Structure 1
Amino acid sequence: MALIPPPPFPTHQEPQTVQSEAMKFENIDNLDKAACKEAMFDYAAESCCYESNAVKEMTITNINGLTAYHYTLETFTETRKTESKRVPHRGGRIDGPENGPSLSPWDVLCKADKTFHNEEKKMKIPHTEYVRPCNRCMGLGNIQCLGCRGSGMEDCSCRKWSNNRETDRLLGSNARDNCPSCHLRISKCGKCSGKGRASCTECEGSGNLKTYTELTVKFTNHMSDYVYQKSDLPGHLMREVTGKVVFEQDLDQVFPITSYPIPEINNNSIRIVNEHKKGFPTERIVRQRQRLHAVPVTVVHFTLRDTRSRYWIYGTERKVYAPNFPHQCCCSCDIL
Structure 2
Amino acid sequence: YALPIRNGSPNLSSNTPMYPPLHAPAANPFTNIPGYEGIGGGGYLPPPMPLQPVAPQPGPIPDNWNIPALSEEAAREAFKDYVQSHCCYGSGPADEGVITNTESFNTYRLRLETFTENRSTEMAEKPYEGKSPVLGSPAPTPWEVKTKTPQLFTKDTEEIRVPYTSSVKVILLKGHKSKQCRDCNGSGKKEEENCSHCNGTGKDRCSKCNAKGKKKCETCNGKKQVLTYVKVKVEWKNNVDDHLVEQNCSLTDSELKSVSGKELYKITQIMVYPLHGFPNPDIVEASDRLIKEHQSKYAQTSRILQQRQTVELIPVTKVNYKWKNKMYVYYVYGNENKVSADNYPETCCCCVIM
When the two structures are superposed, what TM-score results if normalisation uses the length of structure 1?
A: 0.78
2:73 is aligned with what amino acid?
A: A
Equivalent residue, structure 1, for 2:26: none
Equivalent residue, structure 2, for 1:296: 315
1:65 is aligned with what amino acid?
A: S
Superposition map of 1:64-83 within 5 A: 64-83=103-122
**Using the alignment, how far apart are the partners of 2:210 and 2:77 within structure 1?**
80
Equivalent residue, structure 2, for 1:109: 146
1:147 is aligned with what amino acid?
A: K
Identity, % of aligned positions: 30
Q: Hey, which of these two has a bigger chunk of helix by percent? A: 1
Of residues 219, 230, 237, the one that matches 2:247 is 230
SS at match of 1:325: coil
Over the aligned positions, Cα root-mean-square deviation in angstroms equals 3.3
C-alpha change, 1:32 and 1:14, in structure 2 (3 Å) is closer
5+ residue gaps in structure 2?
1-39, 182-187
**Using the alignment, how far apart are the partners of 2:55 and 2:292 within structure 1?**
15
Does 2:294 correspond to 1:276?
Answer: yes
Equivalent residue, structure 2, for 1:57: 96
Tell me, yes or no, if the aligned pair for 1:131 and 1:209 is still in contact at 8 Å. Answer: yes
When the two structures are superposed, what TM-score results if normalisation uses the length of structure 2?
A: 0.75
5+ residue gaps in structure 1?
138-142, 156-165
Q: CA deviation at 1:258?
A: 1.1
Please identify, of 279-288 and 25-34, the stretch whose mean Cα deviation from structure 2 is larger: 25-34
Tell me, yes or no, if the aligned pair for 2:170 and 2:224 is still in contact at 8 Å. Answer: yes
SS at match of 1:111: coil
How many residues were matched structurally? 301
Superposition map of 1:1-336 within 5 A: 1-2=40-41, 3-11=44-52, 14-20=55-61, 23-95=62-134, 97-98=135-136, 100-134=137-171, 137=172, 143-148=173-178, 172=192, 200-236=217-253, 237-280=255-298, 281-331=300-350
1:297 is aligned with what amino acid?
A: V
**Using the alignment, how far apart are the partners of 1:201 and 1:62 within structure 2?**
74
Tell me, yes or no, if the aligned pair for 2:269 and 2:308 is still in contact at 8 Å. Answer: yes
Tell me, yes or no, if the aligned pair for 1:120 and 1:217 is still in contact at 8 Å. Answer: yes
Tell me, yes or no, if the aligned pair for 2:92 and 2:346 is still in contact at 8 Å. Answer: no
Q: CA deviation at 1:61?
A: 0.9
**Using the alignment, how far apart are the partners of 2:97 and 2:206 within structure 1?**
87
2:175 is aligned with what amino acid?
A: C
**Using the alignment, how far apart are the partners of 2:104 and 2:328 within structure 1?**
16
Q: CA deviation at 1:114?
A: 2.5
**Using the alignment, how far apart are the partners of 1:33 and 1:24 within structure 2?**
27
C-alpha change, 1:271 and 1:192, in structure 2 (3 Å) is closer
